[in-house]
Structure 1
Amino acid sequence: MKKIIITILVLVLAVACKTNPFTGKSTLNFYPNSQMFPMAFSQYDQFLEENKVVKGTSEAQMITKVGQRIATAAERWLDANGHPGYLKDYQWEYNLVDDETVNAWCMPGGKIVFYTGILPIAQDETGIAVVMGHEVAHALADHGAQRMSASTLQQIGAVAGNVAIKDDQTRGLFNQAYGVGSQIGVMLPFSRNHETEADRIGLQIMAIAGYDPSEAAELWKRMKANSGGQAPPEFLSTHPSNDTRINNLTAWAPAAKQEARKFGVTSFK
């Protein structure tokens, strides 16, 4: 059984790599768009049915406007860099949901939700573009499928250990150590890396869309103030710390503007 699991794992890893056009990195991905997108679209529709979607307001219209500009910018970058048709299966949709939660999210395939609770922190169209760029970037980089793939590997590792270890006491110790070790040592860093990738990709595409990437760090300063300093240590979190994000975004903003200039964008709102 142990040999079978190892063989399956090796085969899965051999065929599960996909290159991220925005980073040039080979990424772990067991789940093709043809599998991920229909599932995500169905879950998104169900979420909208169960929550209060805001329609027709200036804020809802702005969410759609900014989302469309960001998606168009992403497509321009992909076409210019040798990836035409990369977004052919995406079905972009942008909805504002009446909820005090300070959050926004994007499902695989381009299904996006903003909660009204994040609007006071975003403050204006450019702030919304910062958040939108980040969320769109998650979809562009297949982060959802990568997280599912990593979780699958984590589960395979647990099964392999339990099969290989015959002694009950030793197996119990393994399960405790493996659970904590794989979470803190692998899964959380994996998630933080995705957030950092999305910050950098999002900064680039918001600049191509004509929004000032220098405002990204300012938004995260407001996010930090809103949190009141209440956050777990970075190594125990799925996200980089606010200070890490602020420093990164400040450092990356000039390069994002330079990338936008390649597309004729020389002024930013």
Structure 2
Amino acid sequence: MRTWTKVCCIAAFTSAIAACSSSPTGRNQLILFSDAQMSQLGAQSFEQMKQQQKISQDQTVNAYVQCVAKAITDHVPPQPEFSEWEVVVFDSDQVNAFALPGGKIGVYTGLLKVAVTPDQLATVIGHEIAHVLADHSNERLSQSQLANTGLQITNVALGGSEYRNVTMAALGLGVQYGVILPYGRTQESEADIVGLELMAKSGFDPNQSIELWKNMSKASGGSQPPELLSTHPSHSTRISDLRQKSSSLPNYNATKPTCNKA
């Protein structure tokens, strides 16, 4: 009886938290970890990746990616746990990018072969930053924590080897670490919406998001899709949703950034 009561109390507690937490689109979320914990986890994971993966030394490519990313992050509200966003370009054929709690952004050079304009690159970077702003990693890690550790949510050793696969997946790093990507279609669609608004505020053309996903569709060639698309909505659904959202965005009158493509 006492065990059942304890489980019920924890369940009620987490339900209350979920009811009090909401995403940028108003969806209820289960958020069990603090911003400080998630930022620490993001920073630790990013350092591991920089040690294990090849970083591009191409100054032109780095300047280009940094320019697009900065144009977007300049329009992101101040974050409580960090003051600057760190951007690293990884030298890899992966058609992928990610953003982690703690202000960490990774872009793979393979993405630049598909996101062929600054506006298209801004679509991807805005989408990944939106995952961070919407606490999607926290949400996924919270769900995994409840499912995998018997509800003992207060005893998590973040970043420890026991939780490595769970935490890496929750951060959206599943492809790199051989773990199934965690973000569901609801979170991906939400990141599309928030990311589109963010890139438009930054002066980029939201209509180019449609061209980007057309390119992504071509890149898949009818076989295994690029890593970035592993858990995303279908191409046709995404393009339709983006076209509808783009047409409804207000005119933000932002100055278009000048980022010279490598």
TM-score by length of 2: 0.77
Query: SS of the counterpart of 1:150?
Result: helix
Partner of 2:169: none
Q: Measure how far apart 1:72 and its partner are.
A: 1.5
Q: Percent identity?
A: 35
Structure 2 letter corresponding to 1:134: H
Which has more radius of gyration?
Answer: 1
Q: C-alpha displacement at 1:244, in angstroms?
A: 1.1
Matches within 5 A, 1:95-174: 95-155=88-148
Match of 2:81 in 1: 89
Pick the aligned partner of 1:24 from 26, 32, 47.
26
Structure 2 residue matching 1:195: 3-state secondary structure: helix
Q: Partners of 2:246 and 2:137 in 1: how far apart?
A: 26
Amino acid across the alignment from 1:57: Q
CA distance in 1, matches of 2:240, 2:150: 36
Count of residue pairs the alignment pairs up: 223
1:229 deviates by: 2.2
Which amino acid in structure 2 is aligned with residue 5 of structure 1? V
> CA offsets, 1:115-152, max 9 Å, x none?
11111100121111011110111111111001111222
Distance 1:15 1:195 in 2: 22
Deviation at 1:218, TM superposition (A): 0.7
Over the residues paired in the alignment, what is the CA RMSD in angstroms? 2.6
Higher normalized helix content (fraction of residues): 1
Aligned in 2, Cα 1:188/1:7: closer, same or farther, shift over 3 Å?
Answer: farther
For the Cα contact (< 8 Å) 1:212–1:268, is it kept in 2?
no
User: How far apart are the structure 2 equivalents of 1:158 and 1:141?
Assistant: 23
Q: Distance in 1 between matches of 2:203 and 2:54?
A: 31
1:230 aligns with 2:233: no
Counterpart CA distance in 2 for 1:33 and 1:41 is 12
The alignment partner of 2:184 has SS state of helix
Q: Work out which of the residue numbers 182, 191, 197 in structure 2 matches 1:198.
A: 191
Q: Which residue of 2 aligns with 1:213?
A: 206
Mark the CA change 1:111 to 1:5 in structure 2 (over 3 Å): closer, same or farther. same
Equivalent-residue separation in structure 2 for 1:252 and 1:245 (angstroms): 10
